[in-house]
Chains A and B, each alone.
Chain A
Amino acid sequence: MKKKHWYDYLWLWTILYFSLGFFNILFAWLGLIDFLVPLFIAIIGGNKAFCNRYCGRGQLLEKCGKCSRNHAAPKWMASKWFRYGFLVFFLSMFGSMLFQTYLVAAGASSLRETIKLLWLFRVPWGWTYTAGTVADWIAKFAFGFYSLMLTSTIIGLVVNTLFKPRAWCSFCPMGTMTQMICKIKAKERLW
């Protein structure tokens, strides 16, 4: 057995994050840590230590690997066009979420206390927020960001079960983005 490190328990953070967001949506803002830290590590350190060591979601998926069929994923799932395509799709969805936050901030749109799963299904999530606690746009961003995090976890769990544990990692937008940064820094080919 390999020696356990503190960072081998970061899957607890992922569970904590989703639990906190179930009670108070404003905790969804903490998800920015998972968004910015990998980027900083890639930009400053030029490595994927986040994916390799600290990614709580990856660890959680690994834990859920017991329910995996352990089948090889189709080749296209780790192909460049799918990975970059999914990254573009994910970032545009992120951009659209930011735009909706802006609309709420500008007063052009009102705050809806729901989350949207898989970019399609609106789920009521109103018990996690009392109107007026913070500015509407702050709450809007929290609902949006939580939706994004939960959506990617759902997709992750589906491919985890169908294919191998951590099959999500083969097309995770954060992974693709950080690998891109590392490849640019190391002057490796991107395609």
Chain B
Amino acid sequence: MKKIAVADKKVCVACGVCLKTCTKEAITIFRGCYAVVDDAKCVGCGLCAKACPAGCIAVAERGE
């Protein structure tokens, strides 16, 4: 897996659209504050980035 979703916790509104979209259950909302991506589960498909209404998720190369 070369890519991974990265959520900007400063912009995230913790609405949970990404968790619903993720087919790998790789996203959780940390204590109602912001989305956290589990890098072991994320396959970098970008579904969450497309769905995020706040536009706070980007798909990046792993290890960057």
A interface residues, Cβ below 8 angstroms from B: 2, 42, 45-49, 51-53, 58, 62, 72-73, 75, 77-79, 83, 163-172, 175-176, 178-179, 181-183, 185-186, 188
Minimal beta-carbon separation of B34 from chain A (angstroms)? 8
Q: Is the CB of B16 within 8 A of A48?
A: yes
Q: Is the CB of A48 within 8 A of B17?
A: no
Q: Does B63 contact A (CB under 8 A)?
A: no
Question: Which of B19, B30, B33, B56 has the largest number of chain A CB atoms within 10 A?
Answer: B33
Cα distance, A72 to B56, chains bound together (Å) = 10
Chain B min CB distance to A89 (Å):
17
A126 to B23, CA, bound (A): 48
- Bound CA–CA A163/B51 (angstroms): 11
> Would B16 and A186 count as touching, CB distance under 8 A?
no
**Contact call A170/B31, Cβ cutoff below 8 A:** no
Q: Are A52 and B15 in contact (CB under 8 A)?
A: yes
Contacts of B55 in A (CB 8 A): 72-73, 75, 78
What is the chain B residue whose CB lies nearest that of A70?
Answer: B50
Are B30 and A186 interface neighbours, CB within 8 A?
A: yes
Closest to B30 in A: A186
Is the pair A166, B53 in contact by a Cβ cutoff of 8 Å?
A: yes
CB-defined contacts of B15 to chain A, threshold 8 Å: 48, 51-52, 58, 166, 169-170, 172, 175
* Pairwise interchain contact A47-B32, C-beta atoms closer than 8 A: yes
- Considering only residues 8-64 of chain B, those with a C-beta below 8 Å from chain A are 11, 13-17, 19-20, 23, 29-34, 51-56
> Contacts of B51 on A, CB cut-off 8 Å?
164-165
For residue A171, which residue of chain B has the nearest CB? B13
C-alpha gap A21/B52 in the complex (Å): 32
Q: A52-B14, A182-B14 are in contact. List 17 more A-B contacts (CB 8 A).
A: A47-B29, A47-B32, A48-B16, A48-B32, A49-B32, A53-B16, A72-B55, A73-B54, A165-B51, A166-B15, A169-B13, A169-B53, A172-B15, A176-B13, A179-B33, A185-B31, A188-B33
